[in-house]
């Protein structure tokens, strides 16, 4: 076969691949369930799997990343709509294992409790749930908790084992070399230590004790028990079917078809409306999203300079969104929803500057999700007001810098290097040699300078003395409830609380509805293909590739970080 024929076949293959991709995109866009809500219906919500702040805003992301995670924004909005929608008479929440932290669970719980104020019932249905404390915490917000007759319910507390890899790295010949400010900045301790340092243990025990205490309080209040009773039930740990009912942890043990009998009103069965169907119901059609405008800007992911990518919050992108909201006179307030462990100190400061400028012209209220620490706190601290969930992990006012040295591993593998450097410290961040004592001092001096700027800006934003911020800083992570006592945040609650506060600060009455202007904006197939590039996989053409590569280059070159510990619930 001739060379030209091979080329033609390859081009034809890619043509058909592109055509199939485009067809898939249009199918995704136009085959979604219709927003058809019967006159008498119940909303069927399945809570399980990974939880994101927002759904993918671009159909390309859905196509390439597969089934999107549960979007917390959609849950919050759907329950707001259902509360005032006369067609929706009840809600059924099907609970499965969730991949999120406690603050997102609290946000879901708050949304259910807010819905219940309408007088409409909410039922939680659980089939099988070992190790289910976070999910059970959500279930206790419902009117009734229903377990499958053979269902396994595990409410055994929180915690486990925190791994440390120092000895494994030593055996490999890899050394983690990091300078940090200060003793509670434990982001890389799993690589530099063989176990807890005293400050690390103090921090972790404080966090988990407070989270557990909040869990006990919530369950005790919801189930009509005292704390000691709940603690005894948790210490026993596991219950099956009727035993869970006898213990007062659930209200009924029913099969799914029997649950349908509960979903009757005036003797008539309610029709089912799926969650994704109801997501397509416009808020304005049920009386919401009217009146003056409030911007709701989602700030999610690791922070870097440059443009945003999936799971990466770009300082340039975020600054553009906040600036646009600030310059739009029709937008009366801004709610910044933060879910970030931090990242680049420069990227964080780019966003901080736009928050500070916006605050001079209109109220900016931060709503903290699971994590808003280090750089996540940096971008929040200039806001007019900060609201956190009691379980939010925040603070972590501190800085670190360093590298992994693989000199020992290279020796074991027989890898040799030759130095070629013009400038005494040109190879300071090379992985093929460790830092010298003098280099460590320079690095420590630099991050101390950055930490001092962090303290100054936090003190100015929070109206505190710099010394008080330093006492709450030193890299230490706090729960939202602890942060309130330290005046690092102004109040406790979720998105609804933050929105109410933004309205109040803007002089809008609590009863008045507002229109939410949301960033990132949803993008249709047409806009994804031919519209202005905005974020992530929705970028198009060579410019998109270049912007993505530039962000990755900046990530590689970032040296000073405002980042929280590599957070994972102990196993």
d(CA 397, CA 386): 16
d(CA 283, CA 80): 9
Distance between alpha carbon 214 and the CA centroid of its chain, in Å? Answer: 20
Is the separation of the CB atoms in 480 and 490 below 8 Å? no
If asked whether residues 394 and 268 sit together in one domain, one would say no
Tell me 101's DSSP state: -
Q: Which residue has the tokens 């983690």?
A: 176
If asked whether residues 393 and 488 sit together in one domain, one would say yes
If asked whether residues 121 and 148 sit together in one domain, one would say yes
> Domain residues for 41?
30-156+237-285
pLDDT of residue 561: 66
413: in domain: no
Distances (CA, A) of 221 to 137, 145, 383, 496: 11, 15, 33, 22
Is the separation of the CB atoms in 278 and 43 below 8 Å? yes
Distances (CA, A) of 554 to 123, 545, 567: 48, 14, 23
SS3 breakdown of the chain: % helix, strand, coil, rounded to 5? 45, 20, 35
**pLDDT tens string for the chain (571 positions)?**
555 665 555 656 555 554 544 454 444 444 555 678 999 999 999 999 999 999 876 555 555 555 678 999 999 999 999 999 999 999 999 999 999 999 999 999 999 999 999 999 999 999 988 789 999 999 999 999 999 999 999 999 998 889 999 999 999 999 999 988 888 988 889 999 999 999 999 999 999 999 999 999 999 999 999 999 999 999 999 999 999 999 999 999 999 999 988 888 777 899 999 999 999 999 999 999 999 999 999 999 999 999 998 889 999 999 999 999 999 999 999 999 999 999 999 999 999 999 999 999 999 999 999 999 999 999 999 999 999 999 999 999 999 888 999 999 999 999 999 999 899 889 999 999 999 999 999 999 999 999 999 999 999 999 999 999 999 999 999 999 999 999 999 999 999 999 999 999 999 999 999 999 999 987 554 444 444 444 443 344 444 445 455 554 555 556 666 767 654 454 4
pLDDT of residue 570: 43
pLDDT of residue 544: 47
DSSP 267-309: TEEPEEEEHHHHHTS-GGGGT-S-SSEEEEEEEESEEESSS-B
Is the separation of the CB atoms in 358 and 334 below 8 Å? yes
Q: Which of 256, 285, 314 is the last residue of a domain?
A: 285
d(CA 66, CA 76): 23
d(CA 336, CA 498): 9
Number of domains within the chain: 2
DSSP 461-478: HHT--HHHHHHH-TT-EE
pLDDT of residue 541: 45
Sequence-distant (6+) residues with CB within 8 A of 248 are 223, 224, 225
If asked whether residues 393 and 248 sit together in one domain, one would say no
Sequence-distant (6+) residues with CB within 8 A of 289 are 282, 283, 513, 514, 515, 516
d(CA 391, CA 388): 8
d(CA 269, CA 267): 7
151: in domain: yes
If asked whether residues 545 and 468 sit together in one domain, one would say yes
Residue 107: both structure tokens together:
């946000």
Distance between alpha carbon 190 and the CA centroid of its chain, in Å? Answer: 23
Exposed, middle or buried, 515 (CB in 10 Å: 0-12/13-18/19+)?
Answer: middle
Q: Which of 250, 269, 285 is the last residue of a domain?
A: 285
If asked whether residues 357 and 281 sit together in one domain, one would say no
14: in domain: no
Q: Of 54, 62, 52, 53, which Cα lies nearest the Cα of 32? A: 62
d(CA 16, CA 265): 53
If asked whether residues 261 and 295 sit together in one domain, one would say no
If asked whether residues 378 and 340 sit together in one domain, one would say yes
Q: Which of 285, 313, 348 is the last residue of a domain?
A: 285
Residue 464: both structure tokens together:
């505190």
Residue 24: both structure tokens together:
């898939």
Is the separation of the CB atoms in 533 and 543 below 8 Å? yes
Tell me 538's DSSP state: G
5: in domain: no
If asked whether residues 532 and 391 sit together in one domain, one would say yes
Helical (H) or strand (E) element with 553: helix 541-557
How much is the CA Rg of the chain, to the nearest whole Å?
26
C-alpha dihedral (102, 105, 106, 112), degrees to nearest 10? -170
264: in domain: yes
C-alpha dihedral (400, 406, 407, 413), degrees to nearest 10? 180
d(CA 143, CA 457): 45
d(CA 447, CA 470): 15
Sequence-distant (6+) residues with CB within 8 A of 423 are none
If asked whether residues 300 and 281 sit together in one domain, one would say no
d(CA 88, CA 44): 10
Distances (CA, A) of 11 to 153, 158, 411, 445, 493: 56, 55, 46, 56, 55
pLDDT of residue 265: 77
> Any idea what the CATH number is for the domain that residue 147 is in?
3.90.226.10
If asked whether residues 339 and 276 sit together in one domain, one would say no
CB atoms within 10 A of CB 284: 12
If asked whether residues 388 and 507 sit together in one domain, one would say yes
**Beta-bridge partner residues of 387:** 367, 491
């Amino acid at each position: 076969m001739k060379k030209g024929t091979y080329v033609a076949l390859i081009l034809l293959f890619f043509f058909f691949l592109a055509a199939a991709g485009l067809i898939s995109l249009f199918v995704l866009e136009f085959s979604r369930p219709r927003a058809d809500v019967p006159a008498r219906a119940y909303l069927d919500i399945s809570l399980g799997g990974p939880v994101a702040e927002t759904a993918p805003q671009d159909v390309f992301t859905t196509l390439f990343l597969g089934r999107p995670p549960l979007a917390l924004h959609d849950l919050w909005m759907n329950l707001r709509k259902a509360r005032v929608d006369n067609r929706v008479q009840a809600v059924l929440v099907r609970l499965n294992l969730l991949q999120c932290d406690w603050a997102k669970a609290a946000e879901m719980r708050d949304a259910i409790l807010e819905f219940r104020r309408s007088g409409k019932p909410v039922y939680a249905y659980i089939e099988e749930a070992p190790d289910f404390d976070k999910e059970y915490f959500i279930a206790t917000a419902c009117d009734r908790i229903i377990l499958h007759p053979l269902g396994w319910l595990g409410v055994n507390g929180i915690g486990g084992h925190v791994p440390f890899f120092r000895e494994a790295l030593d055996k490999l010949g890899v050394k983690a070399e990091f300078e940090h400010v200060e003793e509670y900045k434990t982001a890389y301790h799993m690589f530099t230590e063989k176990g807890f340092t005293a400050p690390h243990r103090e921090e972790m025990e404080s966090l988990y004790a407070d989270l557990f205490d909040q869990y006990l309080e919530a369950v005790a209040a919801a189930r009509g028990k005292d704390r000691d009773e709940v603690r005894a039930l948790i210490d026993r740990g596991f219950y099956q079917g009727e035993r869970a009912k006898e213990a007062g942890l659930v209200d009924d043990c029913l099969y799914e078809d029997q649950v349908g009998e509960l979903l009757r009103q005036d003797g008539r069965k309610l029709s089912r409306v799926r969650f994704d169907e109801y997501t397509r119901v416009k808020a304005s059609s049920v009386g919401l999203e009217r009146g003056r405008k409030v911007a709701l800007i989602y700030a999610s992911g690791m922070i870097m300079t440059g443009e945003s990518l999936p799971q990466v919050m770009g300082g340039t992108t975020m600054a553009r969104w906040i600036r646009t909201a600030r310059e739009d006179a029709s937008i009366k307030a801004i709610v910044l929803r933060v879910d970030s462990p931090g990242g680049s100190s420069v990227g964080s400061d780019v966003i901080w500057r736009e928050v500070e400028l916006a605050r001079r012209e209109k109220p900016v209220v931060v709503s903290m999700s699971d994590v808003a620490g280090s750089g996540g706190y940096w971008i929040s601290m200039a806001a007019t007001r900060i609201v956190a969930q009691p379980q939010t992990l925040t603070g972590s006012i501190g800085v670190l810098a360093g590298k992994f040295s693989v000199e020992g591993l290279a020796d074991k593998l027989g890898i040799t290097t030759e130095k070629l450097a013009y400038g005494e410290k040109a190879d300071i961040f090379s992985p093929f040699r460790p830092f010298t004592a003098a280099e460590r001092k320079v690095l420590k001096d630099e991050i101390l300078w950055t930490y001092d700027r962090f303290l100054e800006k936090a003190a100015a934003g929070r109206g505190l003395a710099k010394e008080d911020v330093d006492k709450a800083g030193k890299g230490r992570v706090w729960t939202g409830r602890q942060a309130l006592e330290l005046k690092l945040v102004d109040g406790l609650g979720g998105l609804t609380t933050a929105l109410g506060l933004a309205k109040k600060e803007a002089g809008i009455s609590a009863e008045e509805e507002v229109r939410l202007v949301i960033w990132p904006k949803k993008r249709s197939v047409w806009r994804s293909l031919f519209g202005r590039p905005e974020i992530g996989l929705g970028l198009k053409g060579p410019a998109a590739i270049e912007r993505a590569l530039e962000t990755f280059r900046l990530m590689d070159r970032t040296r000073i970080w405002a980042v929280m510990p590599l957070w994972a619930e102990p196993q």
